[in-house]
Amino acid sequence: MDIDAVLFDMDGTLVDSDAAVERAWHVWSAEHGLDPEAVIAVAHGSPAERTIHRLLPHLDDAAVAASAARQLALQYDDLSDVTATAGARHLLATLDRLELPWAVVTSADTRLAKARLAAAGIDAPVLVTVDDVRAGKPDPEGYRHAADLLGVAPGRCLVVEDAAVGVAAGRAAGARTAGLKGVAADIPLRDLRDLTALLTS
Protein backbone atom coordinates (compact mmCIF):
# COMPACT_ATOMS: atom_id res chain seq x y z
CA MET A 1 0.00 0.00 0.00
CA ASP A 2 2.56 2.54 -1.19
CA ILE A 3 0.16 5.48 -1.43
CA ASP A 4 0.03 9.07 -0.25
CA ALA A 5 -3.74 9.67 -0.16
CA VAL A 6 -7.10 7.90 -0.37
CA LEU A 7 -10.00 9.16 -2.48
CA PHE A 8 -13.41 7.72 -1.60
CA ASP A 9 -16.66 7.51 -3.46
CA MET A 10 -19.55 8.34 -1.12
CA ASP A 11 -22.77 6.38 -1.73
CA GLY A 12 -22.25 2.68 -1.13
CA THR A 13 -18.60 3.21 -0.21
CA LEU A 14 -18.36 5.46 2.86
CA VAL A 15 -22.10 5.98 3.29
CA ASP A 16 -24.75 3.27 3.29
CA SER A 17 -27.46 5.10 1.39
CA ASP A 18 -28.43 2.43 -1.13
CA ALA A 19 -32.02 2.19 0.10
CA ALA A 20 -32.55 5.96 -0.12
CA VAL A 21 -31.02 6.10 -3.59
CA GLU A 22 -33.22 3.28 -4.83
CA ARG A 23 -36.36 4.81 -3.31
CA ALA A 24 -35.73 8.03 -5.20
CA TRP A 25 -35.12 6.26 -8.51
CA HIS A 26 -38.25 4.15 -8.00
CA VAL A 27 -40.39 7.28 -7.61
CA TRP A 28 -38.67 9.02 -10.53
CA SER A 29 -39.08 5.92 -12.73
CA ALA A 30 -42.79 5.71 -11.95
CA GLU A 31 -43.20 9.37 -12.93
CA HIS A 32 -41.64 8.60 -16.32
CA GLY A 33 -43.18 5.18 -16.93
CA LEU A 34 -39.83 3.38 -16.77
CA ASP A 35 -38.84 0.07 -15.21
CA PRO A 36 -37.17 1.07 -11.91
CA GLU A 37 -34.87 -1.95 -11.81
CA ALA A 38 -33.57 -1.18 -15.30
CA VAL A 39 -33.07 2.46 -14.28
CA ILE A 40 -31.17 1.58 -11.10
CA ALA A 41 -28.94 -0.79 -13.08
CA VAL A 42 -27.57 2.10 -15.16
CA ALA A 43 -27.84 4.84 -12.52
CA HIS A 44 -25.48 3.44 -9.89
CA GLY A 45 -22.41 5.61 -9.44
CA SER A 46 -23.26 8.08 -12.20
CA PRO A 47 -24.48 11.68 -11.97
CA ALA A 48 -28.25 11.99 -12.30
CA GLU A 49 -28.02 14.14 -15.45
CA ARG A 50 -25.85 11.56 -17.23
CA THR A 51 -28.24 8.76 -16.28
CA ILE A 52 -31.32 10.70 -17.38
CA HIS A 53 -29.72 11.68 -20.69
CA ARG A 54 -29.05 7.99 -21.37
CA LEU A 55 -32.57 6.93 -20.41
CA LEU A 56 -34.47 9.81 -22.03
CA PRO A 57 -32.31 10.89 -24.99
CA HIS A 58 -35.19 12.87 -26.54
CA LEU A 59 -35.04 15.47 -23.75
CA ASP A 60 -33.16 18.71 -24.37
CA ASP A 61 -30.53 19.93 -21.91
CA ALA A 62 -32.95 22.11 -19.95
CA ALA A 63 -35.42 19.24 -19.53
CA VAL A 64 -32.63 16.87 -18.45
CA ALA A 65 -31.45 19.40 -15.86
CA ALA A 66 -34.98 19.84 -14.52
CA SER A 67 -35.53 16.09 -14.35
CA ALA A 68 -32.21 15.60 -12.55
CA ALA A 69 -33.15 18.32 -10.06
CA ARG A 70 -36.41 16.49 -9.37
CA GLN A 71 -34.57 13.21 -8.82
CA LEU A 72 -32.16 14.84 -6.36
CA ALA A 73 -35.00 16.64 -4.56
CA LEU A 74 -36.49 13.23 -3.75
CA GLN A 75 -33.31 12.40 -1.82
CA TYR A 76 -32.47 15.53 0.19
CA ASP A 77 -34.64 14.75 3.21
CA ASP A 78 -34.66 10.95 2.91
CA LEU A 79 -31.98 10.34 5.54
CA SER A 80 -33.69 8.17 8.15
CA ASP A 81 -31.71 5.02 7.34
CA VAL A 82 -28.51 6.63 6.02
CA THR A 83 -25.47 5.58 8.03
CA ALA A 84 -21.74 4.93 7.70
CA THR A 85 -20.81 1.70 5.95
CA ALA A 86 -19.23 -1.16 7.89
CA GLY A 87 -15.73 -0.21 8.98
CA ALA A 88 -15.88 3.34 7.60
CA ARG A 89 -15.34 5.27 10.82
CA HIS A 90 -12.51 2.99 11.98
CA LEU A 91 -10.83 3.29 8.58
CA LEU A 92 -11.03 7.09 8.62
CA ALA A 93 -9.62 7.18 12.15
CA THR A 94 -6.79 4.94 10.95
CA LEU A 95 -6.04 7.27 8.04
CA ASP A 96 -5.87 10.21 10.44
CA ARG A 97 -3.55 8.25 12.73
CA LEU A 98 -1.31 7.31 9.78
CA GLU A 99 -1.45 10.94 8.58
CA LEU A 100 -2.76 9.85 5.18
CA PRO A 101 -4.93 12.59 3.68
CA TRP A 102 -8.30 11.62 2.22
CA ALA A 103 -11.16 13.10 0.25
CA VAL A 104 -14.66 12.24 -0.92
CA VAL A 105 -15.51 12.39 -4.63
CA THR A 106 -19.19 11.90 -5.37
CA SER A 107 -21.73 12.07 -8.18
CA ALA A 108 -24.16 13.71 -5.73
CA ASP A 109 -24.55 17.47 -5.61
CA THR A 110 -23.11 19.45 -2.70
CA ARG A 111 -26.36 19.72 -0.73
CA LEU A 112 -27.04 15.99 -0.88
CA ALA A 113 -23.42 15.03 -0.19
CA LYS A 114 -23.24 17.20 2.92
CA ALA A 115 -26.59 15.90 4.17
CA ARG A 116 -25.63 12.25 3.74
CA LEU A 117 -22.15 12.63 5.20
CA ALA A 118 -23.62 14.43 8.22
CA ALA A 119 -26.23 11.69 8.67
CA ALA A 120 -23.40 9.14 8.62
CA GLY A 121 -21.31 11.13 11.10
CA ILE A 122 -18.49 11.70 8.61
CA ASP A 123 -16.69 15.04 8.26
CA ALA A 124 -14.79 15.00 4.97
CA PRO A 125 -11.71 17.26 4.97
CA VAL A 126 -12.04 17.62 1.18
CA LEU A 127 -15.30 17.12 -0.71
CA VAL A 128 -15.64 17.14 -4.50
CA THR A 129 -19.20 16.90 -5.84
CA VAL A 130 -20.80 17.01 -9.25
CA ASP A 131 -21.11 20.78 -8.71
CA ASP A 132 -17.32 21.10 -8.78
CA VAL A 133 -16.64 19.45 -12.14
CA ARG A 134 -17.64 19.85 -15.76
CA ALA A 135 -17.95 16.10 -16.34
CA GLY A 136 -18.96 13.43 -13.80
CA LYS A 137 -17.80 9.84 -13.51
CA PRO A 138 -16.51 7.95 -15.50
CA ASP A 139 -14.65 11.13 -16.42
CA PRO A 140 -11.52 11.40 -14.20
CA GLU A 141 -11.91 15.14 -13.52
CA GLY A 142 -13.35 14.69 -10.02
CA TYR A 143 -10.57 12.41 -8.82
CA ARG A 144 -7.88 14.56 -10.39
CA HIS A 145 -9.37 17.64 -8.75
CA ALA A 146 -9.46 15.95 -5.34
CA ALA A 147 -5.84 14.85 -5.67
CA ASP A 148 -4.87 18.40 -6.60
CA LEU A 149 -6.72 19.81 -3.57
CA LEU A 150 -4.81 17.38 -1.35
CA GLY A 151 -1.51 18.26 -3.03
CA VAL A 152 -0.90 14.65 -4.07
CA ALA A 153 -0.21 13.30 -7.56
CA PRO A 154 -3.12 11.13 -8.80
CA GLY A 155 -0.71 8.26 -9.34
CA ARG A 156 0.03 8.27 -5.61
CA CYS A 157 -3.66 7.98 -4.69
CA LEU A 158 -5.91 5.01 -4.02
CA VAL A 159 -9.48 5.39 -5.29
CA VAL A 160 -12.06 3.35 -3.36
CA GLU A 161 -15.29 2.65 -5.24
CA ASP A 162 -18.32 0.39 -5.39
CA ALA A 163 -19.31 1.11 -9.01
CA ALA A 164 -17.64 0.30 -12.31
CA VAL A 165 -17.99 3.88 -13.57
CA GLY A 166 -16.13 5.09 -10.49
CA VAL A 167 -13.31 2.59 -10.93
CA ALA A 168 -13.07 3.70 -14.56
CA ALA A 169 -12.78 7.32 -13.39
CA GLY A 170 -10.07 6.43 -10.90
CA ARG A 171 -8.08 4.49 -13.46
CA ALA A 172 -8.42 7.26 -16.03
CA ALA A 173 -7.06 9.67 -13.41
CA GLY A 174 -4.00 7.44 -13.06
CA ALA A 175 -4.77 6.21 -9.56
CA ARG A 176 -4.73 2.71 -8.13
CA THR A 177 -8.23 1.40 -7.45
CA ALA A 178 -9.96 -0.68 -4.79
CA GLY A 179 -13.36 -2.22 -5.47
CA LEU A 180 -16.20 -3.10 -3.12
CA LYS A 181 -19.24 -5.33 -3.82
CA GLY A 182 -17.39 -7.46 -6.34
CA VAL A 183 -16.54 -4.52 -8.63
CA ALA A 184 -13.37 -5.31 -10.58
CA ALA A 185 -10.44 -3.16 -9.43
CA ASP A 186 -6.74 -3.43 -8.63
CA ILE A 187 -7.54 -4.38 -5.03
CA PRO A 188 -10.73 -6.32 -4.20
CA LEU A 189 -12.33 -5.48 -0.85
CA ARG A 190 -15.11 -7.30 0.99
CA ASP A 191 -15.68 -4.12 3.02
CA LEU A 192 -13.66 -1.20 4.37
CA ARG A 193 -12.30 -3.29 7.21
CA ASP A 194 -10.17 -5.09 4.61
CA LEU A 195 -8.59 -1.77 3.64
CA THR A 196 -7.84 -0.93 7.28
CA ALA A 197 -6.10 -4.29 7.62
CA LEU A 198 -4.04 -3.67 4.47
CA LEU A 199 -2.97 -0.22 5.63
CA THR A 200 -1.92 -1.40 9.06
CA SER A 201 -0.31 -4.73 8.14
Q: Residues 104, 117: contact at Cβ < 8 Å?
A: yes
- The catalytic site residues sit at 9, 11
* Chain centre to alpha carbon of residue 176: 16
C-alpha 183/C-alpha 169 separation (Å) is 13
C-alpha 65/C-alpha 119 separation (Å) is 26
34: three-class secondary structure by DSSP: coil
C-alpha 49/C-alpha 88 separation (Å) is 28
